[in-house]
Structure 1
Amino acid sequence: MKRYGSVLGLSEEGKAEYRKLHAAVWPAVLAKITECNIRNYSIFLKEPENLLFSYFEYTGTDYDADMAKMAADPTTQEWWAVNMPLQRPLDTRKPGEWWADMTEIFHHD
């Protein structure tokens, strides 16, 4: 199992809609997340900066293939299309990233 953390901005004007969407995530999106070996997935909001922090654990054996499978899913693409206009990616993210990956520097079980 590998842990992943990432960060992303959230627009002030999109915050209420983002909360509403995530209070009732589409069942097919949740099923695809599970199918792609993601567990213990959480998103946290830091206000007033409007930063989203995402954490999940990956339990599969081919992360790139599972992420490609998720990205190819039409329902997931639709979900992303609804959410992305509400988000504000960080200027410091790496090329190709939307959510900026973070490096784990401490963990305690």
Structure 2
Amino acid sequence: MKRMAHVIGLRPEHKAEYLRLHAAVWPEVLARLRASHITNYSIFLREPEMLMFSYWEYTGTDFAADNAAISADPITRDWWAICGPMQKPLETRGENEWWAAVTEAFHLD
């Protein structure tokens, strides 16, 4: 299992809609994530900074292929088209990143 975490901003004017959407994520989006071995997925919101932190665990053996399957999924792409404009990527994110990856500094089992 691989633990993964990322951060991104949330545009304040979209907070209510973003939270509403994530209270009832489309079943097809959830199914695609599960099919790509993504588990224990959470998104946290820190206010007033409007900073979101996501965490998930990857249980597969080929993350590149599973991630590509998520990216190619038409329903997931529709979901991103709605949610993406609500997000505010960090200026310091890496090349080809939307959500900026963070490094695990500590873990307790």
Rounded to whole Å, the distance in 2 between the matches of 1:84 and 1:105 is 28
What does the per-residue CA deviation read over 1:56-86, in whole Å, with 9 as the maximum and x for residues that have no partner?
A: 0000000010000000000000000000010
Q: CA deviation at 1:28?
A: 0.3
The alpha carbon displacement at 1:38 in A equals: 0.3
TM-score normalised according to structure 2 size? 0.99
**Superposition TM-score, scaled by structure 1 size:** 0.99
User: What residue is the counterpart of 2:77 in the other structure?
Assistant: 77
Distance 2:105 2:49 in 1: 23
Displacement of 1:26: 0.2
Runs of 4+ in 1 over 2 A off after TM superposition: none
Q: How many residues align?
A: 109
Show the counterpart of 2:35. 35
Q: Does 1:57 align with 2:70?
A: no
Percent identity reads: 61
Name the Cα RMSD after superposition.
0.3
Letter in 1 for 2:81: A
